[in-house]
């Protein structure tokens, strides 16, 4: 279809492949189909996988897999207790050794309850709908540790975006002219830059008055 649309000669995939950059006297031992499938398509897929592996480490992958397994889409088709447990291990302050054992038992009962028994959890569209349904049915009290993981999964995009915005702001604030500022002064500059919408609602007079009242000053601003 692509070749027909752009008036490109459609190759015969059963013919021996001939590389214009090599000597034609060299015997070709594979077909055109093999060239496009193995040397082009598979190679590009390998490059993309390598880029993904370089960008997302093991911890990030475990986190994303855990979030995907909590997703109720297609009647919890992605549910996997092992991957969810690996996600929970990334939050040691919230899941100690005892809680991990309780969580595993809750997950075993939870999937039977919401997928096989309770029809109110069918056809949910995402984690947001799942969290609302858990509260409506009081299942958040029955499975408190699972509900905690669902909340973490919902907060993750917001927390990640906030961190990304903070790092982007640092590029503008801590430049070559201001690279010697200490951490406290840097924090004071980044917060107004990142939270622009909040600080637009604060008048300059209020800021000046707060600054003036922090300690006695020689000059009245």
Q: pLDDT for 66-79, tens place per residue?
A: 999 999 988 888 99
Phi, psi of 16 (to 5 degrees): -65, 140
pLDDT at residue 186, rounded to an integer: 74
Asked, for residue 46, whether it belongs to a domain, the answer is: yes
> Which residue range(s) make up the domain with 45?
11-55
Task: pLDDT band for 107, please (50, 70, 90 cuts).
Answer: very high
In terms of domains, do 80 and 29 share one?
A: no
Q: Distance between CA 214 and CA 57 in Å, rounded?
A: 45
In terms of domains, do 64 and 143 share one?
A: yes
Tell whether pTM > 0.85. no
In terms of domains, do 17 and 103 share one?
A: no
C-alpha pair distances (Å), 10 with each of 36, 43, 117, 188: 13, 22, 54, 63
Among 164, 149, 165, CA closest to 68: 149
Long-range contacts of 127-134 (CB under 8 A, 24+ apart): 127/67, 127/70, 127/71, 127/72, 127/153, 127/154, 128/154, 129/72, 130/70, 130/71, 130/72
114: helix, coil or strand?
helix
Alpha-carbon torsion, ordered 56, 158, 173, 54, to 10 deg: 0
Asked, for residue 163, whether it belongs to a domain, the answer is: no
In terms of domains, do 133 and 196 share one?
A: no
pLDDT at residue 82, rounded to an integer: 94
Average pLDDT over residues 171-195: 71
Task: pLDDT band for 169, please (50, 70, 90 cuts).
Answer: low
Long-range contacts of 84-90 (CB under 8 A, 24+ apart): 84/149, 86/62, 87/62, 87/63, 87/149, 88/145, 88/149, 89/62, 90/59, 90/62, 90/63, 90/66
In terms of domains, do 87 and 146 share one?
A: yes
In terms of domains, do 45 and 108 share one?
A: no
C-alpha pair distances (Å), 194 with each of 58, 162, 185, 189: 29, 8, 15, 9
Structure-token pair, residue 27: 């015997």
Question: Which tens digits make up the pLDDT trace of 115-146?
Answer: 877 788 888 888 999 999 999 999 999 999 99
In terms of domains, do 43 and 119 share one?
A: no
For the cut 90, the answer to whether the pLDDT of residue 22 exceeds it is: no
pLDDT at residue 198, rounded to an integer: 85
| Residue 140: burial class (beta carbons within 10 Å; 0-12, 13-18, 19+) | middle
Which of 13-22, 28-37, 66-75, 142-151 is least confident?
13-22
Calculate what percentage of the chain has a pLDDT beyond 90. Answer: 30
């Amino acid at each position: 279809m692509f070749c027909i649309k752009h008036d490109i000669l459609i190759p015969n995939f059963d013919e021996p492949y001939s590389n214009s950059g090599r000597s034609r006297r060299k015997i070709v031992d594979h077909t055109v189909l093999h060239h496009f499938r193995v040397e082009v398509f598979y190679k590009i897929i390998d490059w993309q996988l390598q880029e993904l592996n370089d960008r997302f480490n093991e911890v990030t992958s475990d986190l994303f897999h855990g979030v995907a397994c909590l997703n109720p889409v297609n009647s919890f088709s992605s549910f996997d207790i092992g991957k969810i447990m690996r996600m929970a291990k990334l939050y040691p302050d919230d899941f100690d050794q005892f809680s991990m054992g309780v969580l595993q038992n809750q997950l075993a009962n939870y999937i039977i309850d919401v997928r096989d028994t309770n029809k109110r959890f069918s056809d949910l569209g995402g984690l947001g709908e799942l969290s609302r349904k858990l509260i409506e049915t009081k299942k958040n009290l029955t499975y408190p540790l699972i509900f905690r993981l669902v909340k973490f999964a919902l907060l993750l995009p917001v927390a990640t975006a906030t961190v990304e915005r903070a790092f982007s702001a640092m590029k503008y604030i801590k430049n070559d002219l201001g690279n010697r500022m200490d951490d406290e002064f840097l924090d004071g500059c980044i917060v107004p830059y990142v939270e622009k919408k909040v600080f637009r609602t604060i008048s300059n007079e209020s800021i000046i008055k707060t600054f003036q009242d922090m300690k006695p000053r020689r000059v009245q601003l």
